[in-house]
Amino acid sequence: MIPSYHSRSRRFDEFLRCYPVVMMPGAERAELNYGGKVIMPPSALDKLSRLHIAYPMLFELRSGSKDRVTHAGVLEFIADEGRVYLPHWMMQTLLLEPGELLQIKSTDLPAGTFIKLQPQSMAFITSITDPKAVLENALRTFSALTVGDIFSFFYNDEVFEIAVLEVKPETKMKAITTIETDISVDFAPPVGYVEPTRASASAGASRPGSVVGGRHVTPLGEAGSMARSINYAAIAPTSNPSATTTASAKQSFFATGGGQKLKGSKTSTPRDKPSTPVAGVSSNPPPPAPAPTIRRGNGPQPLRLPPGQLFFGYEIKPVKKKGDAEAGEKKESMFSGSGQTLRGGNAGGRKRKGGDDKGKGKGPEVVEVD
């Protein structure tokens, strides 16, 4: 039996000198720094075609002198012969200097199902409102991710760096492909993140406005710092002096309901008599002084707070139920009292004056109206 020398799959394996993409000839292409693909020479495309390398073309990049490995895809085959151009973050990951030799091998990677990432600065959670959408858009320029990579992407005039902590499925190469797959993403706390300290229950019990035991809340209107800062005691409806004065005035008006007759009343105010005109002096009375502006005192006063602040300290008045309202008030009768007859006689039916009723028709019955 003749052994087959083509039983093993043939692989692309070349040594090329690496350079950052900023050193490419031609117009500057800054977007190439924020992706996971390299620029290779046209001879590499010719060799890959003869080797029948399947799509997607994925490569293992190994720095022999530094013993660093990462994985990438290829974007274009326009580099100078013997050169390969890498994104800046990939040069840093492999600890390479421009002009060093880099070993490039074709490889196959499993489709990723899970990755765990760690932002390298707090700006990732303070400057980005929707990290999921932004990261999904950034990963479109990547073909592979390897554990230990610290890749970068550009968003909203800022550069963000993300470290790859974990990938699944786990393989010996510790790398996955991100092409045509659905990946679950988990985030580790960013570098420099400090967990906020929580006050103990005993310390919070003595602070106004704190929650004690999960349910009881100290009323803010009593001694809360927010109530003191807005001077709640002066604007509360029940503690307003002018509201109390207005309520007492209304009560006295209705309690002492005395009236005066309009007809026949005599006024003791003397009428103004025309005076002798004097030269240079007007005989018209002086205009009355303007009435002072009276501020409405009843009801809640205006609450003016700085932007972004809310206050929920107003008193709560429970709504009366229908049953309680009917029990507290007695329904007055609309028609009550003793009735009176329409005629002068009493209701017992007295005889008419002047004689007997014999032979005469029966008179009308007396009707009582209550």
Best CA proximity match to 164, nearest among 182, 195, 142, 137: 142
Identify the top-confidence range among 78-82, 240-244, 347-351, 364-368: 78-82
For the chain, counts of helices (H) and of strands (E): 10, 16
Question: Which of the residue ranges 24-28, 310-314, 344-348 would you say has the lowest mean pLDDT?
Answer: 344-348
Give the CATH fold of the 13-187 domain.
Barwin-like endoglucanases (2.40.40)
pLDDT of residue 8: 43
Identify the top-confidence range among 5-14, 135-144, 289-298, 348-357: 135-144
* pLDDT above 70 (res 359): no
pTM of the complete model: 0.53
Rounded to whole angstroms, the Cα distance separating 74 from 39 reads 6
pLDDT of residue 199: 60
Q: How confident is the model at residue 291 (pLDDT cuts 50, 70, 90)?
A: low
Q: How confident is the model at residue 90 (pLDDT cuts 50, 70, 90)?
A: very high
Domain ranges of the chain: 13-187
For residue 112, give Cα distances in angstroms to 16, 175, 183: 28, 8, 6
Report the chain's C-alpha Rg in angstroms: 48
Give the DSSP per-residue string, 179-210. SS---EEEEPPPTT--PPP---HHHHHTSTT-
Give the pLDDT confidence of 320-357 residue by residue, as tens digits. Answer: 777 665 655 555 555 566 666 676 555 444 545 444 54
Give mean pLDDT, residues 286-313: 65
Rounded to whole angstroms, the Cα distance separating 113 from 169 reads 7
pLDDT of residue 111: 92
> What's the gap between Cα 184 and its chain centre?
26
